[in-house]
Structure 1
Amino acid sequence: MARFQDQTLEEILIMLGELTPLEQTRAYREIVAKNQPIWLEEGRQEGRQREAQRVALRLLRRRLGSLSKAQQARVQALSVDQLEDLIEALLDFSAAADLETWLNAHSTPQPRE
C-alpha cells in the first residue's frame, strides 16, 4: 500500500484485477518449461510403480488366492525392481507361505493387523 499512497483502495483493487494471470507470465512459463521433464519422469516412475503393483497383486491372487491386507500392503511397499523380482519369483510359488518367505527375505516386515 505504501507504493500507492496517492490511489484509493478501489483504484488499487482495479489495478490488481488487471494484472496478468500467473499462468500467462513469462516467469511461470519458464518454471514450467524447466520442471516439465522432471515432472514427466516422476509421472512415468509413478505409473511404472502402480502398474507393477497391479500386475504383481493380480498374478499373486491368481496363483495363491486371496491375499491378506498385510500381504497386499507389503507388496505395495516394494520398489519397482523388487516388484519385478517378485513377479518372476511367483511363478515358482505354490502356497501363501512361499510369498511370506519371499517377502521376509526381500522387504521390511509390516506390523501385523
Structure 2
Amino acid sequence: MITQLFSEEIMQESVIYQDILQKGEERGKKQEALELILRQLARRFGAVEPETQQQLRTLATTQLEDLAEALLDFTRPSDLVNYLANISPPPANS
C-alpha cells in the first residue's frame, strides 16, 4: 500500500526528497574533496596530524577546493598550518 501511495515518480518530485538528495550529494562531494586533500598532504609531507585532520573536516566544500589549489604551492607542513590559520571559519550550514 505504501509503495502504491509513494511511487518513485511522486517521490522524485517531492521537495523533501530533492532536499535530502541534494544534501547527500553535497556531503559526498565534501568527503571526496577531504579524502583527496588528505592523500595529497600525506604524499607530500607524510602523516597529517590528527588535530589538522579534524580542522580540515570542519571546512566547507568550497574551502576544501580552494585548499586543494593552494597546497600545490606549499613547500613545508607549516604552510598548511599558516593557511588554515588565515582562512575564515566555514559557514554554519556546511
Over alpha carbons, which structure has the higher Rg? 1
- Tell me, which stretches of 5 or more residues in structure 2 are unaligned? 90-94
Pick from 10, 28, 32 the counterpart of residue 11 of structure 2: 32
- Tell me, which stretches of 5 or more residues in structure 1 are unaligned? 1-19, 109-113
1:63–1:93 Cα contact (<8 Å) kept: no
State whether structure 2 residue 81 is matched by structure 1 residue 100: yes
RMSD: 1.9
More contact order relative to length (CA 8 Å, sep ≥ 6): 2
Q: Under a length normalisation based on structure 1, what TM-score does the superposition of the two structures give?
A: 0.67
Percent of aligned positions with the same letter in both sequences? 35
Separation in structure 1 between the aligned mates of residue 82 and residue 88 of structure 2, nearest angstrom:
10
Separation in structure 1 between the aligned mates of residue 36 and residue 88 of structure 2, nearest angstrom:
18
1:78–1:107 Cα contact (<8 Å) kept: no
1:53–1:76 Cα contact (<8 Å) kept: yes
Q: Under a length normalisation based on structure 2, what TM-score does the superposition of the two structures give?
A: 0.79
Between Structure 1 and Structure 2, how many residues are aligned? 86
Runs of 4 or more consecutive aligned structure 1 residues displaced over 6 Å after TM superposition: none
